[in-house]
Structure 1
């Protein structure tokens, strides 16, 4: 086949000014420097030598320091973040084709509406149309938050507005507890669209691999069946596995990385099907455990695994771009 269109469905951006707003950032981290849209394009893309044709990126909120207890004042970092991303979309016109900002989902629809009015104030209507959904990162939040009444009401409100909910959960560090809560959420909300980040963050450590893998499979199967029963469109993002390795990627052979990741790809394709999986790089976070060349490394790992699983050309095209357009309601330009 010719070049494959690629939409990178999981990208974070920030400049020096925004570093202090990131909840997880530490000055000792190698990515504690600006990672702008221009740097993304320059670092990751050489179109002439690539088998891919970049169609754009989806910006996912970067976990800024918001505070639910302070009302709109506590949401200011997220409002600033969106304005920064809009500026980036202007500087690198055509690169950012969808945005998923932070939202105060646990506070219910009334607060959501107030927040979104504030979020969209003074932003060009054409740029507002880039916002396709919202994320409230759950991987580090207390148990019970996503099954609270107000949280569920917010998700129903989002579904009614055709917004996607980006679901960041963590099997590696939280076990199956968060997956059980996702099952309750999917049971409580019908006809909604969800995107699960980073394979749901399984554990790719070498020791106990079989037990880890089988436990993840059982939990993933359960939430997928619940979603299907309630007519929820759930997409699984093929991203973030470098962060779940027990070693830095440079300390593993390419073959070992492929070997560890392949069962997760295979199960994702078997369970969700080639119409409901989406590729993302998790740039620049992927560089923390994947090194400076993490972006092409992950892209190559994905392609080699898809080839080994005998994915068709059409399936590859869906995974690398078409499914993201469907999930995030992106219209072809």
Structure 2
């Protein structure tokens, strides 16, 4: 049985945000295009032997009308706010949704009731790191206002998705001095240092994207915690993935920095359609080379359990009521077979996430 679980990676959205105008990736008929609220997550975890003591919400890649925003040097703060409000309508609505849940004022369709917001122990929100320093600072102020002080106090990090981009595009984004400067501005908070979540796809976009991420981390140095999502998405369907050795080399390079963490998450979606192994034993047979390298590279104190709910239901073999518990069982079996002590298992299940995101409750 796992000890206390702090799920480091889940997504939520209300029934009012299930169309392409709210999430460009949420096309009509998509399996995920329905409400996923705290109450739905609670129902999905109910059948597992151990239920989570809390979770970290991760932003959901809300719709933007274009990749960036033009802000003139002579624009006033009010003019910049107006442009940002129109451009980032969907991300700001995401923050308003989170505020309602945290403050206990959920509306119909939010999938939450009184007290459900207490399960949110950390928030990883989106921010436009690609903008100039002035516009970025204005947006952070708007984000804080949209969240309210109670929810803003739970912000443990930020995410700007890099998956779906070529290696050249990723190098261009991360090599921009504005991007690096904004990461430092947002995350370097003294004692309450925040995290930057890294979402890349080494399988579909190439391992080169990891090399670009390593360069970003080396440029920022140690003022920010970096959290790598989903094992960086290797090709789990191919036992002879040609890029495996390069992936291992990149993971070793990234793990050499003490402020970098890795999530054990997202694996159920990295197989060919309908090809996810259906038993813990068969899944572990595929995952061991990856998990072994991650655990050896990062150590238990920088590895985080994450379910990637509800995205885990897309490829998971046990249905919406069983996939969360299935992944918990897989991770616990792996940690047990590798002989991790109870103390080290506590780190993987909760304390590493608490350290990465500054969540005092689980430290």
When the two structures are superposed, what TM-score results if normalisation uses the length of structure 2? Answer: 0.84
Once the two structures are superposed, residues 42-101 of structure 1 have per-residue CA deviations (whole angstroms, 9 ceiling, x without a partner) of 12125xx62x35221100000001242264021121110011122223331311111111
Change beyond 3 A, Cα 1:159–1:15: closer
Gaps of 5+ in 2: 71-82, 105-112
- Name the structure 1 match of 2:98: 85
Once the two structures are superposed, residues 155-191 of structure 1 have per-residue CA deviations (whole angstroms, 9 ceiling, x without a partner) of 1212322221111111011112211111211221112
Task: Find the aligned partners of 1:155 and 1:93 in 2 and give their Cα distance.
Answer: 27
2:353 corresponds to 1:321:
no
> Is the contact made by 2:198 and 2:227 (CA closer than 8 Å) also made in structure 1?
yes
- Name the structure 2 match of 1:234: 260
Selected match of 1:157 from 178, 185, 188: 185
Selected match of 2:230 from 185, 190, 198: 198
Task: Find the aligned partners of 2:52 and 2:239 in 1 and give their Cα distance.
Answer: 37
- C-alpha displacement of 1:247: 4.1
Change beyond 3 A, Cα 1:3–1:193: closer
2:49 corresponds to 1:25:
no
Task: Find the aligned partners of 1:111 and 1:248 in 2 and give their Cα distance.
Answer: 44
2:258 corresponds to 1:223:
no
Selected match of 2:62 from 64, 75, 78: 64
Task: Find the aligned partners of 1:108 and 1:267 in 2 and give their Cα distance.
Answer: 38
Higher helix share: 1
Larger CA deviation: 309-318 vs 26-35: 26-35
Q: CA RMSD in A?
A: 1.9
Aligned pairs, how many?
323
The ranges of structure 1 where at least 4 consecutive aligned residues each deviate by more than 6 angstroms after the TM superposition are none
> Is the contact made by 1:134 and 1:164 (CA closer than 8 Å) also made in structure 2?
yes
When the two structures are superposed, what TM-score results if normalisation uses the length of structure 1? Answer: 0.91
Task: Find the aligned partners of 1:326 and 1:109 in 2 and give their Cα distance.
Answer: 28
Change beyond 3 A, Cα 1:24–1:178: same
Task: Find the aligned partners of 2:325 and 2:204 in 1 and give their Cα distance.
Answer: 27
> Is the contact made by 2:202 and 2:210 (CA closer than 8 Å) also made in structure 1?
yes
- C-alpha displacement of 1:116: 1.4
> Is the contact made by 2:95 and 2:147 (CA closer than 8 Å) also made in structure 1?
no
2:355 corresponds to 1:331:
no
- Name the structure 1 match of 2:299: 273
Is the partner of 1:172 in helix, strand or coil? coil
